A = this chain, B = another copy of it.
């Protein structure tokens, strides 16, 4: 029987809290013991990735306390309940099924009379067949020319995840003969966003993927109109250039305005939708269905690894629990995500949504205020770029910010240059290894300005290369980490009521139904 308890009522948390500042990283990583610790403190992930936590402030005792916390908060049982189709999104009374888009971990999940795994697979197949026809020239523009560009129109989860995934695989796909179409993204209601993208493409050779679950997202519908105007002005029929990704009940679903419609449903939140047709349509069009299938495969394998009650064997659960220790015991306010891979340039922006929108909440899953801090601020940029930017604060600032590194032994393109006895790829990898140790161990200096206290914890996920499978595994790892943290904090990680008030007020502004300060601000902004 699952019981949902606030973190501050969990006995294991009280024990964990007694272990504040329990581990001295400098000491833990010193000498040959340190080398052994690096070997020991690692967990295999899917797709050849490994999660390393030797530079986290944990030892056997902390790990035991985290295990006790995992047990008492029933993390595995809650994950099982989720993938077996219980109503985990209690606020909106919905199942939470994004893992089902890439595999079936438990029993058959039937909702609304439908086998949901079969449904997701059927939609993926539809999208794959559509993409294949586009690539084969069976679906073309009115002039019979092949489409060369796919433009995703969506915002939030319909934009950040798919965009980050596209950028992550773009160069890999080009290198491996799997880049069928270039992808672009229009998201912002700022008209300069759509204008700029439209100026950069040949609209006559472009397919537009309109993504809105409800079919009512104002930004997205506005940008759709923008695009349709541009198509018409170019003498083209919009209906030959647009597909929809939406729910079956949305006004877009059966419209003749679209060449095709691929369906998602209410059981997949926007920020968890990269492995549904929200990511599937654009990524299959860009890189082909096989690459998208490999991406799903990596995610599915990672999901399986998350289904393990032993925290030392479960990378997502361990990552989540260490994060809770850092946030609620150590008192750290933020987490930086630092991929040493330019291809992951927008991965931190995706994680920022995934994490902050899921767990940036002050009430528990029953709507009662919690008395502890929940989700941290998430931010990050790729290394080595970040090293020449905000790392100063990370090394010597007054707050300690835990770090989440990602690194790969090989580049995607394979072009490289040898300077001063090493390649660029080696320099990249040397830098991330160096940073881990610099943060953890610091360095004494008589000049306090050049002194590094160390004691700044980090983890790193290491892989061979950023392949579709590795990307899928990476994505699922963080999705599952966020899910487990939500369980520990007793939150509903799958709704987002905090975004509603702004929408309501914006409508009121546009309808000129305001007074007082809101009217004054609106006037200043020329509305």
Contact = CB atoms under 8 A, between A and B. Distances in A.
Interface residues of A, number: 163
A111 interface: no
A420 B220 CA distance: 13
Contacts of A37: 517
Copies of the chain in the assembly? 2
B392 A360 contact: yes
A510 to B, nearest CB: 5
Nearest to A517: B34
A433 B385 contact: no
A17 interface: no
A195 interface: yes
Contacts of A502: 387, 391, 395, 431, 434-435, 438
A516 B495 CA distance: 46
Chain A contact residues: helix, strand, loop or mixed: helix
Given A38-B521, A357-B392, A409-B525, A333 B377 contact: yes
Given A35-B515, A434-B506, 16 more contacts: A52-B524, A192-B342, A222-B417, A229-B417, A334-B377, A356-B390, A356-B397, A357-B392, A357-B393, A362-B397, A367-B449, A370-B398, A391-B499, A421-B511, A432-B525, A438-B502
A498 B435 CA distance: 11
A146 interface: no
A21 interface: no
A388 B427 CA distance: 37
A189 B516 contact: no
A283 interface: no
A148 interface: no
Contacts of A112: none
Interface string A398-427: 110100000101111101110111111111
Interface stretch (A113-121, A135-143, A156-164, A477-485): A156-164
A516 B372 contact: no
